[in-house]
Structure 1
Amino acid sequence: MKFTVTSRGDNVSNALQQRIKTYLVEFGLTFDDENPEIVITVGGDGTLLHAFHTYKHRLEDTSFVGIHTGHLGFYADWMPEEVEKLVIHIAKTPFQIVEYPLLEVVLRHYGENKSERLLALNECTVKSPEESLVCNVEIKGEKFETFRGDGLCISTPSGSTAYNKALGGAILHPSLACIQLAEMASINNRVYRTVGSPLVLPQHHTCLLKPQNYVKLQITIDHFSWSHQKVKSIQCRVAEEKIKFARFRPFPFWKRVRESFIGD
């Protein structure tokens, strides 16, 4: 089996990265950072997010597993002291594949025929750094509302514990094939009126955002951010692709939620 190991870049993570690589090569696995069948990340959720975007063109053939060297994460579920156990599992044990849904974002600009398609593991956010965002929200081809406020966040179920939660969105189990739309400080008056609650859209529903005041937009996909001019529409829906995680033991999602936000 071909593998690669990515690191957050600190001394502890780099040392673990080298240990894992050495162990797996000794077990007869092949190090291949171009076409890996399994990607092991050492760091935290941000490290795994970065690895996802590095290998998103190989989602059909690549699985991910994470070791966290900092705070508890929702993607990195192994501890540094469990490295030897994990290495033996990877080398000797057939693993279970668990798939999580992704967010597809399609950007269209005025004056351009070609659209840009992006994938997000956590979320896409749309803001205006200059003034309030005014945006028509269409669901399944029909206008739902006109939003005015700081911005909008469209998240995956696995990303619902990140920025979405800070906005008051619901925490969704990552086995659900859906996306969630959450508002950032919406303005409600006689002209602009929003539902004021997060919306959870199923797999067959498409959300289309159409900016109305033609301002510069700041659009993020996970940890990447771009400035865009003349955005015609932002189309969001559940992607056909999924991310695959290699599971060697149970990974209770609600237990991790409790440990991260409530504690013992």
Structure 2
Amino acid sequence: MKSERKQVYLFYKPNDELDEKVQKLRELGKKHGFTLAESPDKANIIASIGGDGTFLQAIRKTGFREDCLYIGINDDKLGFYTDFNLNDLEKIELGMQAENIEVLRYPTLQVTVDDLQEFQCLNELSIRSNIIKTFAIDVFIDGIHLETFRGDGMIVSTPTGSTAYNKSLKGAVVDPKLNAMQLTEIASLNNNQYRTLGSPLILNNDRELILKIVQDGNDHPIIGADNEALSIRHSHEVKVKVSDKSIKTLRLKDNLFIHKVKRSFL
């Protein structure tokens, strides 16, 4: 790696056992000319240490930066975003050599709530009931009304997020090289009044998805971004698009998407 790419910020939750391992990682980084940054805004590389949840938090809490690389290092917790293992320093050291790694760009979602609040998601956007009660959503694609959904909620996922909450809802597993988003239902009702597609829907990156929450006096669902519930209440309209911004991350060349799918599910 070039010297200007060697300012590293470590994102993790400290504890005695982990601190000992991280110290060895620091020593290895120093050996290869890496310098620890005191804050993420001064870093060119942000390395999360933990599982996929920690990786998602690292990206969200550092502002979905496009001008740095994100690296996922797991502590024996398998994941789709964590290519490196803190207990295998030899492989991490090999990863510090450019010929063993490649840069991937993961698509993100751009979400706008009531034309007031905007944010990004790397995994998925979720809209779920906050009480034991179904609610209705009018679904529009490029301004055309598709359906009126009633059920427990809906998920809009990225290709990398397709293996998370989306998969548990029988959504499709999507190749992360596809720049797209997927709409998946959560426990939909289908009767004479409400009729939905009843299957996941994959949309191209130039589509605009609008979810209008049908209000009947007590329908204020919870909105979640990745693994975090947002403090947004009384929302009426949620717009979702595939963002022009992407997240850059490092991947070992011998750890392809198909390897991860097979290792995690088969």
Are residues 48 and 135 of structure 1, via their aligned partners in 2, closer, same or farther at CA, if it must alter by over 3 Å?
same
Match of residue 149 from structure 1: 151
Task: Write out the 4+ residue segments of structure 1 that deviate beyond 4 Å after TM superposition.
Answer: none
Q: How far apart in 1 are the matches of 2:33 and 2:232?
A: 47
| 8 A contact 2:84–2:91 mirrored in 1 | no
Pairing 1:36–2:43 present: yes
Please give the secondary structure, in 2, of the residue aligned with 1:81.
coil
Give RMSD over aligned pairs: 1.8
Are residues 11 and 179 of structure 1, via their aligned partners in 2, closer, same or farther at CA, if it must alter by over 3 Å?
farther
* 1:151-170 alignment, distance < 5 Å: 151-170=153-172
Q: Which runs of 5 or more structure 1 residues have no equivalent in the other structure?
A: 109-113
In percent, how many aligned pairs have the same letter? 33
46, 50, 60: which one pairs with 2:53?
46
Pairing 1:25–2:27 present: no
* 1:93-112 alignment, distance < 5 Å: 93=98, 95-108=101-114
Q: How far apart in 1 are the matches of 2:48 and 2:232?
A: 31
* 1:226-241 alignment, distance < 5 Å: 226-241=230-245
Letter in structure 2 aligned against 1:236? V
Please give the secondary structure, in 1, of the residue aligned with 2:83.
strand
* 1:210-229 alignment, distance < 5 Å: 210-213=212-215, 215-229=219-233
Q: How far apart in 2 are the matches of 1:254 and 1:151?
A: 30
Letter in structure 2 aligned against 1:67? I
Please give the secondary structure, in 1, of the residue aligned with 2:42.
coil
TM norm structure 1? 0.90
Please give the secondary structure, in 2, of the residue aligned with 1:260.
helix
| 8 A contact 1:146–1:193 mirrored in 2 | yes
How many pairs does the alignment contain?
Answer: 255
Q: How far apart in 2 are the matches of 1:122 and 1:13?
A: 26
Pairing 1:117–2:118 present: yes
| 8 A contact 1:7–1:14 mirrored in 2 | no
TM norm structure 2? 0.89
Q: How far apart in 1 are the matches of 2:257 and 2:70?
A: 17
| 8 A contact 2:7–2:42 mirrored in 1 | yes
Please give the secondary structure, in 1, of the residue aligned with 2:92.
helix
| 8 A contact 1:5–1:21 mirrored in 2 | no
Deviations 1:84-119 (A, max 9, x none): 4424543x53753110111111111xxxxx611111
Letter in structure 2 aligned against 1:105? V
Which range moves more in the overlay, 81-90 or 1-10?
Answer: 81-90
Which range moves more in the overlay, 10-19 or 97-106?
Answer: 10-19
Deviations 1:134-169 (A, max 9, x none): 110000111000000000011110010000000010
Q: Which runs of 5 or more structure 2 residues have no equivalent in the other structure?
A: 1-5
